[in-house]
Chain A
Amino acid sequence: MKFKYFPGCTLYTKGKDFDDSGRAAAEKLGFSLEELDEWTCCGATFPLAADNNMALLSPSRALCNTLKAGEDRLVTLCAVCHNVLKRTNHVLKTDEARRNTVVSFLEESYDPKVEVTHYLEVLRDIIGFEKVAEKVEKPLAGLRIAPFYGCLLLRPAAEMGMDDPDRPTIFEGLIKALGAEVVDYPLKAECCGAFQVLNSEATATRCSAEILESARKNGADLIITACPLCQFNLEDRQKEIAETAAAFKPLPVLYFTELLMLALGGGKEAISKDRHCVDPFPALRARGLLE
């Protein structure tokens, strides 16, 4: 099974480990991610201004190219790319006037049959979590994982259509399939502060501190996410949080694919050595998952 895949800028560089572990885990699960030709940055934010057609061009081009490649599905890993591509696709499918403007500017044609599918949806709906569980070589027994959804993976629910943003279950399903324990906590679908880290750093630091504390209080060994910006903020803010809260204990934040690959037998290579600014190895060793 092959899928057209949109990696996005961050997964090419700072989030390379997300891409590497995602591709490697796919091979183990019997599918492969084939990079879309000539993709460009999705723009990293879906334009919320109804007259901003310019910001729809790049994601629309990726959708048109998917179709040109003879495919009707584009798979994503990065929650930000996923949100932008999926919401753009929704505009192209439902707003004929905007579709005509965008598509004629690109000198393309578009048949709205393309679907944007997140890697997690591939695991749940195409492969099946029970099949994932069968392929697990090293169950993550005893590991207490707090899933972090953030804002972009699930919202707006009517357009993203992946899961209920108030009571999501997709990460939970995966965690159980890997043999680990799910940590339920109230802030799992909150916002880490996102791009506000550049403008209102205090917002990102406080939001991240609240999320980390909520996960920790409920017994998490670590957090998993599908968003490179959440992964970055939640780890990178910890230095600053520790300066003001003496009792603060660091909590690692991993891409879900790193743990997926670990469970599929990837060994310690599955976990990034240099990307994490909070070392995830002690938490994994403490549960006997690594030597």
Chain B
Amino acid sequence: MLLKLDPSKIRCEEIRDIETIAADSVYKCYQCGKCSAACPAAPEMDMLPNQVIRYLQLGMYEKILESNTPWVCASCLQCMTVCPKGVDLAKIMEAVRTVHLRRGENKLNINKLDEEYKARAPQIAMIAGLRKFQSLS
């Protein structure tokens, strides 16, 4: 795939916001791919976790916006456990979600879930779902 880089977008504001919220730098990553190899949710992702970081390094924030990867991430911390560079990728995924949610964009309307399912699922599933996918505003 041929990518055209725009140097003015590298370290753009959106990406700095993500780094601030994650309290981590995307530039620590040297693209070894261990995170993606370890990620249990990778089969349902349309972009591998290490690719998310790569696009962020290259200033291609719009690629991340189109991707389902941050929304399929289960915050399981496998990636940060195996990363040789100490990147906390789960925090970066959360930061991407947080930027959306703070703009008031909901990913999931819990009220629309099947009533019967809601009655059987444990509270922790519902509360975690609200926290991860629903905006406060």
Q: Which residues of A contact B (CB under 8 A)?
A: 8-10, 13-15, 41, 43-45, 47-52, 55, 78, 80, 151, 155-157, 165-166, 190-191, 193-200, 202-203, 206-207, 228-229, 232, 236
- Interface SS majority for chain A: loop
Q: Which residues of B contact A (CB under 8 A)?
A: 20-23, 40-41, 43-44, 68, 71-72, 74-78, 80-81, 88, 90-91, 93-95, 98, 107-108, 110, 113, 120-129, 131-133
In the complex, are the beta carbons of A151 and B41 less than 8 A apart?
Answer: no
Give chain B nearest CB distance to A136 CB in angstroms. Answer: 29
Q: How far is the CA of A51 from the CA of B22 in the complex (A)?
A: 8
A44-B131, A45-B75, A51-B20 known; A190 and B113 CB under 8 Å? no
Q: How far is the CA of A73 from the CA of B127 in the complex (A)?
A: 26
In the complex, are the beta carbons of A45 and B131 less than 8 A apart?
Answer: yes
Give chain A nearest CB distance to B80 CB in angstroms. Answer: 6
Q: Which residues of the partner chain A approach B123 to less than 8 Å between Cβ atoms?
A: 9-10, 13-14, 41, 44
Q: How far is the CA of A82 from the CA of B26 in the complex (A)?
A: 29
Q: Which residues of the partner chain B approach A200 to less than 8 Å between Cβ atoms?
A: 41, 44, 68, 71-72
From the candidates B44, B80, B110, name the one contacting A198 in the complex (CB within 8 A): B110
In the complex, are the beta carbons of B125 and A197 less than 8 A apart?
Answer: yes
Give chain A nearest CB distance to B70 CB in angstroms. Answer: 11
In the complex, are the beta carbons of B128 and A49 less than 8 A apart?
Answer: no
- Interface SS majority for chain B: helix
In the complex, are the beta carbons of B108 and A198 less than 8 A apart?
Answer: yes
What is the count of residue pairs linking A and B with beta-carbon distances less than 8 angstroms? 141
In the complex, are the beta carbons of A232 and B121 less than 8 A apart?
Answer: yes
In the complex, are the beta carbons of B127 and A50 less than 8 A apart?
Answer: no
Q: Which residues of the partner chain B approach A155 to less than 8 Å between Cβ atoms?
A: 76-78, 80-81
A51-B20, A191-B41, A199-B107 known; A232 and B122 CB under 8 Å? yes
Jot down 7 A-B pairs with beta carbons below 8 A, ordered by A: A44-B123, A51-B21, A155-B76, A190-B76, A190-B78, A202-B44, A229-B125
Q: How far is the CA of A49 from the CA of B122 in the complex (A)?
A: 24
In the complex, are the beta carbons of A228 and B78 less than 8 A apart?
Answer: no
Q: How far is the CA of A232 from the CA of B23 in the complex (A)?
A: 33
A49-B91, A198-B108 known; A80 and B77 CB under 8 Å? no
From the candidates A55, A191, A206, name the one contacting B44 in the complex (CB within 8 A): A206
Q: Which residues of the partner chain B approach A49 to less than 8 Å between Cβ atoms?
A: 21-22, 91, 94-95, 98
From the candidates B21, B91, B124, name the one contacting A10 in the complex (CB within 8 A): B124
Q: How far is the CA of A106 from the CA of B77 in the complex (A)?
A: 30
Q: Which residues of the partner chain B approach A41 to less than 8 Å between Cβ atoms?
A: 123, 127
Tell me which of B22, B74, B108 has the highest count of chain A C-beta atoms within 10 A of its own C-beta: B74
